[in-house]
Every structure is written in structure tokens, then in C-alpha cells.
């Protein structure tokens, strides 16, 4: 049973990655949205180094949050439209685990590219190496939470007219703690006080999301399909 479940999860992840590869324009839209938004701020704010370093963490995190929200509609929307989602619900494997596989695929195609490009974008703001490392680590911990929480909102609004806007209203308040602790980690490193406290809180939020978000998403999917 365990091996079968692992194989099914791998198949779900592989299928979603293949779909993302075939529709790479959707993935690239999210990626370039993040890059463009972050890159515009140095042009608009001006070349003052201290100002740029001060606003950099918040700019990067807000852009990552907005970019993640752009992709929430396609997490379950395509499967809902072609009937694949109903087949997943009817499989003997636990729906919670299959949801985790879909969230993992979403993060690999949406969150991970943002994490990898963020240090390069941080150079535009004059961030030192230790601050860039903290920014990378905070995004690495925090972006999975964006996918997990976003999955709940996406499942709740599945098939609803104007679902994208409604999803944004549902998940934005839940994103606020991630935004606060993620953005506050970098100034802590720059000030010499350390980022361990903020990163630990981010890690705690991630653990809570890993426990509760897949279960809530599975329940929401079943309700949306009824």
C-alpha cells in the first residue's frame, strides 16, 4: 500500500510538471511578473543605497506573494474542467496525500523559480551576501506556505464565478504572518541581531500549514465537487 501510494504521488507530480511544461507560458508569466515588479522598484524609488536596502525584503516578499496568487487558479482549475479531479477523489488513495502531491508540483513550478532568482534580484538593492542568504532561506521556508494556504482558497472557490478574485480575498489575510516574518528576517541579519527568531516562526507556520492545509483542501474539494 505504501509503495502504491508513493507511485501514485510521483505520477501526480510528474503529470502536473508535464502539464506545466506544455503550458510554460503560464509559468513564465508568474516568473516574469515577479522579476518585473521587483526590478521596477529601484527605478521608481531612486538610487539611494540605504533606502533600497531597507525596502528590499518587503518588495521581494510582496512580489512573491502576488506572483504566487497569479498561479492559484490553475492548481485545480484544469483538473476540475477536464474531470481529472473527480477521478482523483474516487481513487482508493487518501485525497490528503494526493493534494500534497499537487501542492508540491505547484511549488516546484511557481515557488522554486522565485526562490532561485531572488538573490540575483536582491543585488539590485545592494544587499550584502549574508542578507541575500537570509532572503533566500526565508523564501525557501515561506513560499511552500503560500502554495499550501493558496490550495485551500483555490479549492473553496473551485467552479465559482469570479473565483480568482474571491480566492485572493480568502488567502490574503492568511498570507500576512508569512509576509511579516519573511520580510523581517533580512533586516535582522543586517542589524546584527540575527534572523533565527523570524525563520523559526516561519518554520512553525510551515509545519502548521503542512498539517492542516492538505486536510482542509481535501474537504473543500469534496464540497466543491458535490
In this model, does residue 216 exceed pLDDT 70? yes
Q: Which residues of 150-170 are buried (b: 16+ CB within 10 A; e: fewer)?
A: bbbbbbbbbeeeebeeebbeb
Cβ atoms of 105 and 71 within 8 Å: the answer is no
* Cα(151)–Cα(212) distance, integer angstroms: 11
Task: Assign 191 a pLDDT band (cuts: 50, 70, 90).
Answer: low
Averaged pLDDT, 37-61: 88
- pLDDT tens-digit profile of 78-117? 788 777 888 888 888 888 999 999 999 999 999 999 999 9
Q: What is the pLDDT of residue 190?
A: 63
In this model, does residue 177 exceed pLDDT 90? yes
Task: Assign 156 a pLDDT band (cuts: 50, 70, 90).
Answer: confident
- pLDDT tens-digit profile of 26-48? 889 999 999 999 999 888 887 78
Handedness of CA 49, 202, 97, 6 (dihedral sign): positive
Q: Tell me what the pLDDT averaged over the chain comes to.
A: 87
Q: What is the pLDDT of residue 31?
A: 92
Which pTM value belongs to this model?
0.89
Amino acid at each position: 500500500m505504501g509503495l502504491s501510494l508513493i507511485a501514485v504521488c510521483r505520477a501526480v507530480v510528474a503529470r502536473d510538471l508535464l502539464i506545466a511544461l506544455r503550458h510554460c507560458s503560464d509559468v513564465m508569466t508568474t516568473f516574469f511578473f515577479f522579476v518585473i515588479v521587483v526590478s521596477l522598484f529601484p527605478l521608481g524609488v531612486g538610487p539611494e543605497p540605504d533606502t533600497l536596502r531597507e525596502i528590499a525584503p518587503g518588495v521581494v516578499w510582496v512580489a512573491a506573494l502576488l506572483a504566487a496568487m497569479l498561479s492559484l487558479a490553475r492548481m485545480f482549475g484544469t483538473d476540475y474542467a477536464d474531470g481529472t479531479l473527480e477521478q482523483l477523489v474516487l481513487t482508493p488513495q487518501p485525497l490528503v496525500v494526493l493534494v500534497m502531491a499537487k501542492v508540491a508540483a505547484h511549488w516546484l513550478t511557481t515557488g522554486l523559480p522565485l526562490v532561485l532568482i531572488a538573490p540575483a534580484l536582491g543585488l539590485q538593492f545592494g544587499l550584502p551576501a549574508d542578507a541575500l542568504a537570509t532572503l533566500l532561506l526565508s523564501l525557501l521556508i515561506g513560499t511552500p506556505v503560500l502554495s499550501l494556504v493558496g490550495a485551500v482558497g483555490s479549492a473553496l472557490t473551485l467552479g465559482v464565478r469570479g473565483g480568482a478574485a474571491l480566492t485572493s480575498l480568502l488567502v490574503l489575510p492568511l498570507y500576512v504572518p508569512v509576509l511579516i516574518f519573511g520580510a523581517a528576517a533580512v533586516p535582522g541579519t543586517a542589524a546584527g541581531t540575527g534572523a533565527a527568531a523570524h525563520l523559526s516562526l516561519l518554520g512553525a507556520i510551515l509545519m502548521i500549514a503542512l498539517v492542516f492545509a492538505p486536510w482542509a483542501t481535501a474537504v473543500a474539494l469534496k464540497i466543491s465537487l458535490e
